[in-house]
Amino acid sequence: MKNSKLSLGSVLILSILLSGCGMQSIPTALNEVEAAWSEVLNQYKRRSDLIPNLVNIVKGSASHEKDTLTAVVEARAKATNTQVNAGQLTPETLKKFSQAQAGLGSALSRLMVVVERYPDLKANQNFLDLQVQLEGTENRITVARNRYIQSIKQFNNLVTVPPTSWYNSIFLNHEKKPQFSVENEEEVKQAPVVEF
């Protein structure tokens, strides 16, 4: 009986020591998640900051495209007002955020289709510069989102896979973090219609 208590106690102590790596790895991973999310927000803000200049340039050359310009401005306002910090990320808040950003992306896509009808606008150097900056920003958003996805994967593994999950369940009790998903955005995105 004494040996079984000693063995059970040894196993328990060994388990706690093995899961002790969670003492630093889980908080470190959480910090990485927060940093990655901040970069995602930073890139979406960069895109949002470019839009007023783009709308003003298009407004000057294609003023009768008021509906499209209004849609872009409204989508930008909605995306700007839908902010979520890393501590508030739940599947619902992430879905709402993703849908707002997808709505803005969709409105921008429609604007770019409209621009194809205006040769003078397509030749405007300021417009071309903004278009290049927006394309670059979309690439940066993709990279930032990918880094966020990887940091979430690492964090979720730490809080759900033994031995660190044991430490988490005893001392920290962190929940899995939500991931970006295509479903969050596909409800909003629609392929723009090109008319000739």
Establish if 145 belongs to a structural domain: yes
Q: Determine the pLDDT at residue 192.
A: 43
The domain in which residue 163 lies consists of 28-185
- Specify the pLDDT at position 20: 57
Counted domains in the chain:
1
Residue 82 belongs to some domain of the structure: yes
**Residue 11 counted as domain residue:** no
pLDDT for residue 11: 66
Pairwise CA distance, residues 130 & 125, whole Å? 9
Over the chain (196 residues), the average pLDDT of each successive run of 10 is: 61 60 81 94 94 86 79 90 85 90 91 83 84 93 95 94 84 87 52 38
Specify if 34 maps to a domain. Answer: yes
In a domain? residue 194: no
